[in-house]
Amino acid sequence: MNRFFRFFMMVVLMGGLLSCSQESNANKIKYKLSLSEQEVKDINRLLGKNDLITKSFNSLKEATDFALSIDIDVPPPGESGSYEHERHKQNYLDMKSAGTMFRLTKDEKYAQFIKDMLDQYAEMYPELGPHPLAHNQKPGRLFHQMLNETVWLLHTAQAYDAVYTWLTPEDRQNYEKNIFNIMVQWFTVDHPQEFDRIHNHGMWAAASVGMIGYVVENQEWVDMALYGTQKDGNGGFLAQISQLFSPDGYYMEGAYYARYALQPFLFFAEAIEKNQPELKIYEFKDQLIRKAFYSALQMTYPNGTFIPINDASRSMDINAPGVVYGTSLMYDRYGPDDNLLGIADIQNKVYLNGSGAKLAKDYQQKEVKRPTWESIEFRDGQDGKQGGFGLLRTGEGDDQTVLAMKYGVHGLDHGHFDKLHFMFWDQKREVIPDYGYCRWINIEPKFGGRYLPENATWAKQTIAHNTVVVDQVSQNRGIRKEADDVHGKRFFFHAENPDIQVMSARADDHYPGVTMQRTLFLVRDDALDYPFVVDIYRLKSESEHTYDYPIHYRGQIMATSFEYKSNNNLLKPLGNAFGYQHIWNEAEAEPETTGWVTWLDRHRFYTWIFSGAPNMKFYFARTAANDPNFNLMVEPLFISRQTGKNHVFASVIEPHGYFNEASEESKNAYSTIRAVKVIGHNDIGTVVHILGDNNLEWFVTVYNGDNPDPTIEHSVRFRGETFSWTGNYSLKKIK
Amino acid sequence: MNRFFRFFMMVVLMGGLLSCSQESNANKIKYKLSLSEQEVKDINRLLGKNDLITKSFNSLKEATDFALSIDIDVPPPGESGSYEHERHKQNYLDMKSAGTMFRLTKDEKYAQFIKDMLDQYAEMYPELGPHPLAHNQKPGRLFHQMLNETVWLLHTAQAYDAVYTWLTPEDRQNYEKNIFNIMVQWFTVDHPQEFDRIHNHGMWAAASVGMIGYVVENQEWVDMALYGTQKDGNGGFLAQISQLFSPDGYYMEGAYYARYALQPFLFFAEAIEKNQPELKIYEFKDQLIRKAFYSALQMTYPNGTFIPINDASRSMDINAPGVVYGTSLMYDRYGPDDNLLGIADIQNKVYLNGSGAKLAKDYQQKEVKRPTWESIEFRDGQDGKQGGFGLLRTGEGDDQTVLAMKYGVHGLDHGHFDKLHFMFWDQKREVIPDYGYCRWINIEPKFGGRYLPENATWAKQTIAHNTVVVDQVSQNRGIRKEADDVHGKRFFFHAENPDIQVMSARADDHYPGVTMQRTLFLVRDDALDYPFVVDIYRLKSESEHTYDYPIHYRGQIMATSFEYKSNNNLLKPLGNAFGYQHIWNEAEAEPETTGWVTWLDRHRFYTWIFSGAPNMKFYFARTAANDPNFNLMVEPLFISRQTGKNHVFASVIEPHGYFNEASEESKNAYSTIRAVKVIGHNDIGTVVHILGDNNLEWFVTVYNGDNPDPTIEHSVRFRGETFSWTGNYSLKKIK
């Protein structure tokens, strides 16, 4: 059918419906996934008047028009990271964009673009077999892994829906026969295990099949998408989201993967809501969808970067497409929220649908501030009983200070052996960092941009994190299967008092015969320039062990309270396994007693003041030894090593002063806090004494029993003195 | 005299002048240094209407009002970096600001502030002896070094002038007797050598004495300031500027020190112009003042940071006070210039005087762009015959690419042994860097913020730069006296062709028996994404030597064309002297033939493609070995080592591709150029062959004789082939 005939048919159709208003005529076409006529009107009304909508529209139009300006290419499949691979990825993005532009502008060139591309896919796709370069992954036919193919389908389903009624029945028959049927069969019949697997790959598979199912009105596909290939609820979307997210919406793989999973999660949820509203998907499991989205947003630093736990890049942020979509969608589906406006402010765009239009209107009318998130604890595990993730925050907007601790599940194959690991954000940057993954993503010469061997040998290992390593062996011996069977434990979390916030967690199943409790405080005090951290890490064992307490930092060492011996002429690694083989031992010391080390990180000084004990060893260390291909980043860390049965590492991290090299200003290069001493600890409590300049003095206590309760009184006696407090902790300033 | 009496006197005075207009009355007071009534009017007229003036005024007012809001403190002298030291520095800044605010607002609280502070100085100053903590420097009385005291006087003279007529004769007598006379005597009688020394310290001394001389109308002081303590022209301002700046205005210590020297240089010049216009200071030595200022501006990267040669911080920039003042002053004294408006745009402020008002008015009316500087060569040495500094630039505004080479004089006690050293700026950052100084300026725990031992053992050494080291010994054996006696040599400089810019220089007196010629090209070619660098470095000797060619870089190694052996388990320094003791040998190779190494620096890849030769060694290295106090920054470098008599290192640095971790995009991780080969070299010329993908091919020739001339034809024969070209170089693309 040529264009003229198509136009003729349209006129006939319009003629036949002359008794209806244009509005109701348009409404006759029920789009399954795409913009309704009302949404199209809403957006067009805002164009040129509303900044966010106009910017978002222009940028989409520019990208789409560029795609239309070059030759369509549907090449034979290629390897990961190759031109062919990237071309197919770009193709689905372009088709989806063209679908939106077609709906918004009604300009048929966009529809024609989708048709021309689908024609080529329909010609090639039936001829393809499994991709030959799948390595260890389930293959697609276009892509080396099935995952990419499900992403292709999820986007293409949306493009197809946008032009569905514009296409001829012959076109539709062609695409369904030669692309969609084969593809859905590939996913659900040929690879049902991958389809039903509880994993973000499974979620993509389910969502993509469900969405194309709605478009072509194949309820069989939709049902498999919802309930699994066996339609028994053991697989499929509902099982996926029930099991991948905790009841608090915390995503077990971490935020980097959550933002990726948000795309199938939200697009399919919205498709369900549109097509099967009776499922009340947005109310499912006490609004799990809302919680999951907000949990991902809250797993960010104040600049919008996701906290990079597990295998994650350090720079992925809320500009990711799923988050932009979700910000618009949640604002509409669950009601206005100033923090979402703040998020949109960082994103500087909205999703082009009715939800985005609604958000953009409010954004224009309100005074928008950067989001200020509250301190929060997420429960982990599908039952919410497998530990959690704690976030203490103070300050406002992008100047918040953030202290985060991880004490949940391992997190599947992207998990790290890092329970009780903490990260600290201050001065608008991560000052006690997480390494993230060892991967130069999409950089072809770095092993095709895939995970590098050092991801396993360094990034996943316990010593690559800020948590104690026992006997220089990683948690659960670095074995994923062992780690999957256990989890950290929530102990207490109190953020009511904005001046003294505290979280405490345990990990008792990560080293045989050793139990660990870490308690982290985020404290504001007028005597100090900035909020500071108090860390009380208690280890308990019947037998003797070596305990290594690492602090990864950034910047340059300025001063120490103690002498150390520098390995000036010869560097050796600190060990030969579990990540220690990657650490150069630059200098060592035996401080014996409480001490401190100060480093400069950009414009601020940081001092780590630690408790001492006889026979302690202190290492100044740096990556990356045994890195024959320069895959690792060179970064410094300190390690405090203690041998014993029961031990408490108590310390303070104090940010202080100011340095500006350009203006040659420097203030308060020395910390105020100068000493941290463990007075005593037993199974009731730990008592720590903190001392500073100008006679500053605090006593800190932590409850070590098994029944945390904010109302119960505790009392311990150490060194002839009795310390009493009510509840799970106390932090008392003496002067 | 109390305020009421002073007010009474003013009324009497005003009464006596009733026959004059207020205008001419005000004009009766001739300010020697401060704003004239006309300037005050000009600025007040712009307040609230002109952005730059209003911002500059508000920020000065805020700082000054803050100073007035706290108690005046004139403490006894303290050590460098101490509270007392910083307080005295703040005091002179505050007095100067208060003087300006008094002139602009006529609010007597500002005058009173200056008086109250001077009262305290007048009480303390006569009691002081030489500062006890001068270490190796000439002491002041308030400060550990006389330099700071001259800075104090230069600022205070300006404050004093602003309130001169407001003060009573008794006040003035007090300050002159108890501060200024003693201080000038300290500088000129007690420490005449420091005063007359040709050095930025001498310039400060001269300017400060000259300025206070104008205020108190002591021509004796002014004459010493102009012509030296002996008034014979061997010292003093005119000698200083004649000898410290080359005829092109290039400052021998480098831009970091130039920006500091600009303060006495410009403030005193303007004072001379106001008080002794017959000296025509702005015309002195063919407008040396204009040239010196512009030379400092051009010694910057496109973001306004000074190129950090010699002892310099990497972040000092054109926001320095002397540069802000100079931008306003030059715009007025030598006429409007769009680049100065662009500089003011980066500074985002103007100096509050008539010149600043003029610039601010034009800024408001014009469309201002970031400055675009031309390629330029500065001659070095007071006669302009001691080598130079070359800058090749391409692109516009803050996206310029810059290639810089240093081949002038040593640069006194802040000089580095770095002749033929080059730096490369691309992608809005220094990608082939200069280390700058080893100093954590003003950070007390780092040796009081002074120069650290590693400044001498690393930062000054040849291997810390991007230039060849012979036999692993620094130029002139690292001995300043030897280096002061020699200099690099200009050879040729051609920037006429924007696609092929080239500079060539020699250093024949830095290694006994070895002559060196480096020729650097900055080339634009449609076949490549970005401008690239061609480097042809020729060494000639009668005897055998080891030649080390280093490239300092930033970022992460991505790929190499050759195998290398990583020192996985054991790191040792590359040597034990001349900076080599600070370099860890991370990996080594013997590429034999042409090869390349690619690294990632932020969003762009860089590939260094080098010519090979038998027996060459290649080192992957990193600072900082033998750094027992963590004074050095940890940074990577490559070293290509060659043994022989005559040798040419030919190489290309190609920026390419794009990487964005946040959006997970990566393009063109491999360079286009793949090989560089030296076809031959003799005393007539060098011929280099460059090869790339898609059959790209260039031949590059460089003239090696003694009489550079762009019109003469040359011809050489290597490997049976004749290569001919006209002029000093040729770069011919074959395909």
Does the pLDDT at position B26 exceed 60?
A: no
> How does the average pLDDT of chain A come out, rounded?
94
Residues B76 and B195 in one domain: yes
Active-site residue identified among A251, A257, A301, A547 = A257
Over residues A591-624, the pLDDT tens digits come to: 989 999 999 999 999 999 999 999 999 999 999 9
Over residues B299-319, the pLDDT tens digits come to: 999 999 999 999 999 999 999
Residues B395 and B264 in one domain: no
CATH number, position A686: 2.70.98.70
CA gap A215, A271 in Å, rounded: 10
Asked if the structure places residue A7 within a domain, the reply is no
pLDDT band at A23 (very low <50, low <70, confident <90, very high): very low
Is residue A140 classed as helix, strand or coil in its secondary structure?
coil
CA gap A590, A619 in Å, rounded: 9
Residues B117 and B264 in one domain: no
Q: Are residues A666 and B598, on separate chains, in Cβ contact within 8 Å? A: no
Minimal Cα–Cα distance from B584 to chain A, Å?
9
Partner residue opposite B443 with nearest CB, options A446, A572, A659:
A659
User: What is the predicted pLDDT for the residue at A28?
Assistant: 59
> How much is the average pLDDT of A189-202?
95
Instruction: Write down which residue in B211, B232, B253 finishes a domain.
Output: B232
AA identity, residue B310: N
Q: Chain A partners of B622 at a C-beta cutoff of 8 Å?
A: 634
Asked if the structure places residue B14 within a domain, the reply is no
Residues B520 and B664 in one domain: yes
Contact A603, A658 (CB under 8 A): yes
Q: What share of chain A is helix, strand, coil (3-state, %, to 5)?
A: 40, 25, 35
The whole domain housing A717 covers 376-733
User: What is the predicted pLDDT for the residue at A274?
Assistant: 96
Asked if the structure places residue B333 within a domain, the reply is yes
Which of the residues A259, A439, A571 would you substitute to probe the B interface, choosing the one with the greatest number of B C-beta atoms within 10 Å? A571
Q: Are residues A443 and B665, on separate chains, in Cβ contact within 8 Å? A: no
Does the pLDDT at position A77 exceed 80?
A: yes
Candidate from A21-25, B414-418, B598-602 with smallest mean pLDDT = A21-25
| Residue closest to A438 by CA, chosen among A430, A429, A447 | A447
Q: Chain A partners of B449 at a C-beta cutoff of 8 Å?
A: 666
Residues B92 and B201 in one domain: yes
Contact A661, A670 (CB under 8 A): no
Q: Are residues B443 and A666, on separate chains, in Cβ contact within 8 Å? A: yes
Residues B391 and B316 in one domain: no
Give the torsion through C-alpha atoms of A460, A464, A470, A472, to 10 deg: 90
Does the pLDDT at position B11 exceed 70?
A: no
Annotated catalytic residue A414: yes
Cβ contacts of residue B468 below 8 Å, gap of 6+?
B420, B516, B537, B539, B547, B548, B549, B649
User: What is the predicted pLDDT for the residue at A14?
Assistant: 45
Q: Are residues A449 and B317, on separate chains, in Cβ contact within 8 Å? A: no
Active-site residue identified among B257, B331, B537, B549 = B257
Residues B127 and B62 in one domain: yes
Q: What is the pTM of this model?
A: 0.93
- How many separate domains does chain B show? 3
Residues B640 and B663 in one domain: yes
Q: Are residues B600 and A572, on separate chains, in Cβ contact within 8 Å? A: no
Residues B380 and B364 in one domain: no
pLDDT band at B20 (very low <50, low <70, confident <90, very high): very low
| Residue closest to B406 by CA, chosen among B391, B427, B425, B421 | B421
Asked if the structure places residue A4 within a domain, the reply is no
Q: Chain A partners of B603 at a C-beta cutoff of 8 Å?
A: none
User: What is the predicted pLDDT for the residue at A19?
Assistant: 39
For B479, the token pair is 């001995």
Q: Are residues B587 and A628, on separate chains, in Cβ contact within 8 Å? A: yes
Contact B322, B462 (CB under 8 A): no
User: What is the predicted pLDDT for the residue at A463?
Assistant: 98
- A305: nearest CA partner in chain B: B662
Does the pLDDT at position A9 exceed 60?
A: no
Asked if the structure places residue A477 within a domain, the reply is yes
User: What is the predicted pLDDT for the residue at A29?
Assistant: 74
Asked if the structure places residue A333 within a domain, the reply is no
User: What is the predicted pLDDT for the residue at A265?
Assistant: 95
User: What is the predicted pLDDT for the residue at A79?
Assistant: 85
- A90: nearest CA partner in chain B: B665
Q: Are residues A627 and B568, on separate chains, in Cβ contact within 8 Å? A: yes
Over residues B520-558, the pLDDT tens digits come to: 999 999 999 999 999 999 999 999 999 999 999 999 999
CA gap A149, A193 in Å, rounded: 16
Partner residue opposite B569 with nearest CB, options A446, A568, A626:
A626
Q: Are residues B443 and A669, on separate chains, in Cβ contact within 8 Å? A: yes
Q: Are residues B666 and A445, on separate chains, in Cβ contact within 8 Å? A: no
Asked if the structure places residue B26 within a domain, the reply is no
Does the pLDDT at position B15 exceed 70?
A: no
Q: In what order do the strands lie in the sheet with B729-733?
A: B673-681, B685-692, B697-703, B729-733
Over residues A709-727, the pLDDT tens digits come to: 999 999 999 999 999 999 9
Annotated catalytic residue B414: yes
Q: Are residues B568 and A443, on separate chains, in Cβ contact within 8 Å? A: no
Q: Are residues A570 and B570, on separate chains, in Cβ contact within 8 Å? A: yes
Active-site residue identified among B414, B465, B552, B681 = B414
Partner residue opposite A571 with nearest CB, options B442, B584, B620:
B584
Does the pLDDT at position B448 exceed 90?
A: no
Over residues A98-141, the pLDDT tens digits come to: 999 999 999 999 999 999 999 999 999 999 999 988 777 899 99
Minimal Cα–Cα distance from A679 to chain B, Å?
30
Residues B334 and B443 in one domain: no
pLDDT band at B252 (very low <50, low <70, confident <90, very high): confident
Partner residue opposite A315 with nearest CB, options B442, B634, B662:
B662
Active-site residue identified among A199, A414, A416, A656 = A414
Minimal Cα–Cα distance from B154 to chain A, Å?
20
pLDDT band at B12 (very low <50, low <70, confident <90, very high): very low
Element (DSSP H or E) covering residue A390: strand A388-394
Secondary structure of B339-372 in the HEC alphabet?
HHHHHHHHHCCCCCCHHHHHHHHHHHHCCCCCCC
User: What is the predicted pLDDT for the residue at A488?
Assistant: 98
Contact B433, B554 (CB under 8 A): yes
Which of the residues B82, B443, B562, B600 would you substitute to probe the A interface, choosing the one with the greatest number of A C-beta atoms within 10 Å? B443
User: What is the predicted pLDDT for the residue at B462?
Assistant: 98
Q: State percent of chain A over pLDDT 90.
A: 91
User: What is the predicted pLDDT for the residue at B336?
Assistant: 96
CATH number, position B301: 1.50.10.100
Residues B327 and B438 in one domain: no
> How does the average pLDDT of chain B come out, rounded?
94
Asked if the structure places residue A690 within a domain, the reply is yes
Instruction: Write down which residue in B325, B348, B371 finishes a domain.
Output: B371
User: What is the predicted pLDDT for the residue at A344?
Assistant: 97
Does the pLDDT at position B18 exceed 60?
A: no
Q: Chain A partners of B82 at a C-beta cutoff of 8 Å?
A: none
ipTM entry: 0.92
For residue A467, give Cα distances in angstroms to A407, A472, A537, A720.
11, 12, 9, 32
Instruction: Write down which residue in B232, B254, B269 finishes a domain.
Output: B232
Which of the residues A348, A554, A556 would you substitute to probe the B interface, choosing the one with the greatest number of B C-beta atoms within 10 Å? A556
User: What is the predicted pLDDT for the residue at B24?
Assistant: 43
Q: Chain B partners of A563 at a C-beta cutoff of 8 Å?
A: none
Over residues B646-703, the pLDDT tens digits come to: 999 999 999 999 999 999 999 999 999 999 999 999 999 999 999 999 999 999 999 9
> How much is the average pLDDT of A288-298?
96
> How much is the average pLDDT of A41-62?
97
Over residues A254-267, the pLDDT tens digits come to: 899 999 999 999 99
Size of the A and B interface in Cβ pairs below 8 Å: 131
Residues B483 and B529 in one domain: yes
